[in-house]
Amino acid sequence: MAYEKEKENAAAAAMELVEDGMTIGLGTGSTAKFFVEYLAEEVADGLVVKGVPTSEDTRRLAESLGIQLLPIEHVDRIHLTVDGADEVDDRAQLIKGGGAALLREKIIASASDLMAVIADPSKEVEVLGAFPLPVEVTPFGYTITAKKVFDALKAAGVSRPRIDVRTRSGNKPIVTDGGNYVLDCHCSVIPDAPKAAAHLAAVPGVVEHGLFIGLARTVIIGHEDGASMFEY
């Protein structure tokens, strides 16, 4: 598959950040899955770490591979979180949430000493917005919230946003691990990501949005023959 080797190499490079005794946030998605698998190999060889999963999918994977997990309620400190991204720009601003885990991902990332993003080159962009921006909303009044999200994006400079409710088979809205719906906001270009983030955060009914601003401090881009690491 396209970029599979690059994803693997990005995940392998992130292992350089792992130290014995760490509590590690475990991301969600195809690239983060490689990291969990690499981490499990080291655990099998004697590495002592504890994981904090960002989704039920990641929890099941980590448990199946023998990684010791901590419930978020028992976490005092998260030393490192390694997660993927749907888009990343040259300021380490991200769009996340393609896997519908953005709320837990952001809670864990914001509680971490270091968030490292692992990605293949297709995720690098000059300006965020080509990937539909996920916004997690409460089911109650979600159609009203969707209209307010549209207004918020317009006010933040997005010229012609289109808002779709993410659905599963049977055309029913998908439900996140937190029991919410996801709006996919087709923006094409988000000219001012911090402004858009602030406007979205002010909308009643919005639980969280997929703009990760000022959270990632390390970005690792995988290549066919290795990976590049950038610090911010």
Beta bridge partners of 183: 135, 165
Among 158, 173, 178, 46, which Cα is nearest to 101's?
A: 178
pTM of the model: 0.96
User: What is the layout of strands, in order, in the sheet containing 94-95?
Assistant: 87-88, 94-95, 211-212
- Is-contact 205 137, C-beta < 8 A? yes
How do residues 73-119 score in pLDDT, each as one tens digit? 999 999 999 999 999 999 999 999 999 999 999 999 999 999 999 99
| Dihedral pair phi/psi, residue 213, rounded to 5° | -115, 125
Rounded CA separation 24/18 (Å): 8
Query: Tokens representing 60?
Result: 């099941």
Does the annotation mark 105 as catalytic? yes
- In this prediction, residue 138 has a pLDDT band, given cuts at 50, 70 and 90, of very high
Query: Tokens representing 134?
Result: 């996920």
- Is-contact 135 183, C-beta < 8 A? yes
Q: List the catalytic residue out of 6, 8, 87, 105.
A: 105
How do residues 49-62 score in pLDDT, each as one tens digit? 999 999 999 999 99
